[in-house]
Amino acid sequence: MKKRVVIAGGGTGGHLYPGIALARALTRNDMDIEISFVGTQKGLEAKVLPQEGFNLKTILSAGLLGKKKIARWVSWCKLPISTAQSMSFLLRKRPGLVVGVGGYASGPLVLSAWVLRIPILIHEQNCIPGMTNKWLGKIADKIAVSFKDSSAMFPKEKVEVTGNMIREEFCKPKEEFPQNNGPFRVLVLGGSQGAHSINMAMVEALQFLSQQKLDLHITHQTGETDLEMVNMQYKKNHFPADVRPFIDDIEDQYRKASLVICRAGATTLAEVTACGKMSILVPFPHATHNHQVKNARILEAANAGEIVLDEELSGLRIAKSIIQAMEEPKRLKIMEENSYKLGNRDATEKVRLLCMELLEETYSKSGRTKKLQGNYVLSCF
């Protein structure tokens, strides 16, 4: 009999990719596990999961925090629908465990799992937990957190500090990274959908980097909206650049990079530190509870990256940081080493073991029905 795992969550890469990392780890260690994801049709999961070979069940769900008036009312109206869809799906799948890692689909699915008495594990990526996970922590059986500071916001008997789950490709030893004997390579990321302020700052920075042009190569993830404009500016300024709306081979680009300019989402920082890269961090200014600034402060305090607040962001500021990194290789090397020390390359395995431990405890209890034997449900938030 196939063991079934359902992973719920997504919306953005920061929620989706930890779920994919865990799904891969589970199937790598047990070929009999059958995995399905639960997400929304509008989220990144609808595009990425088919490419990854995983099934996706979509539900009608939307966020509540930050919504106003009609939009908030519409989100509330979707909640009972998404909960009913989740309940129906779980009854058909008959799962044994739900693990959450964020995204609009996580709340309804985990709540449904609790009603059906299915064991729950949630994963919190950020330093400051979101409202959904703080509430779900009350009903979860286990809580895995990326940062030690998050532990205090959950029942301490349930919490384990694991780090943020990342895909296996990011966990290779640094010695296996290719040697960069060519130009200084800058990787620019604005999240899975791009970041307009970072895009504009990089375009503006080109005029201040003209003397470094021959020694510089830029790989830039713009998102769909700014793709044409950014690409045109690189060509207009005759800059060697690889401009894409979304980077599929991101692990390869991290390894090649000399410097990363990015937002400060928890998954991005987990990838940056796993690869041991110096970063220029531009926290998203509208993140819930300002958690991206708090995430970035951890790297800044370890001398692994530097912060540029969105309101301070400019082409000149970014150009100065790039030039300094190019001209001070000893400082760059120290920050790379500090970044690598922060990396939690075993985080996915730690969460996998927590899941297996919880499952073993669950199925060893007396009174379990035979219908549930060998079934697993995993919801990633």
Q: At what angle do helices 196-205 and 227-236 cross, to 10 degrees?
A: 10
* Cβ-contact 239, 211 below 8 angstroms: no
Of residues 105 and 53, the one with the higher pLDDT is 53
Indicate whether 103 pLDDT > 80.
no
Question: What's the average model confidence in pLDDT over 321-334?
Answer: 97
Indicate whether 321 pLDDT > 80.
yes
d(CA 71, CA 281): 31
d(CA 79, CA 82): 5
pLDDT score, position 70: 59
- For 269-283, the DSSP string reads HHHHHHHT--EEE--
Q: Which of 19-28, 95-104, 269-278 has the lowest mean pLDDT?
A: 95-104
What pLDDT digit, counting tens, does each position of 213-270 carry? 999 999 999 999 999 999 999 999 999 999 999 998 999 999 999 999 999 999 999 9
pLDDT score, position 130: 78
- Rounded percentage of the chain residues whose pLDDT exceeds 70: 89
pLDDT score, position 62: 52
Confidence of residue 378 (pLDDT cuts 50, 70, 90): low
Question: What's the average model confidence in pLDDT over 65-90?
Answer: 70
Give the tokens for residue 45.
């999961």
Q: What CATH number should be reported for the domain whose range is 171-342?
A: 3.40.50.2000
Instruction: Give the position of tokens 């009608």.
Output: 60
* Cβ-contact 270, 279 below 8 angstroms: no
C-alpha pair distances (Å), 172 with each of 47, 177, 185, 335: 26, 8, 20, 19
Q: What is the DSSP letter of 103?
A: S
Long-range contacts, stretch 80-85, CB < 8 angstroms, 24+ apart: 82/108, 83/108, 83/111, 83/112, 85/59, 85/60
Annotation: CATH topology of 3-166+345-372:
Rossmann fold (3.40.50)
Smallest Cα–Cα separation from 239: which of 258, 216, 257, 222? 216
Q: Which of 43-57, 84-98, 142-156, 299-313 has the highest mean pLDDT?
A: 299-313
Confidence of residue 80 (pLDDT cuts 50, 70, 90): confident
Question: What's the average model confidence in pLDDT over 97-109?
Answer: 85
Q: Looking at the chain, how many residues does it have?
A: 381
Mean pLDDT of the chain: 87
Indicate whether 77 pLDDT > 70.
no
Indicate whether 127 pLDDT > 90.
no
pLDDT score, position 176: 75
Domains 3-166+345-372 and 171-342 agree in fold: yes
Q: Domain spans of the chain?
A: 3-166+345-372, 171-342
Confidence of residue 43 (pLDDT cuts 50, 70, 90): confident
What pLDDT digit, counting tens, does each position of 262-313 carry? 999 999 999 999 999 999 999 999 887 788 999 999 999 999 999 999 999 9
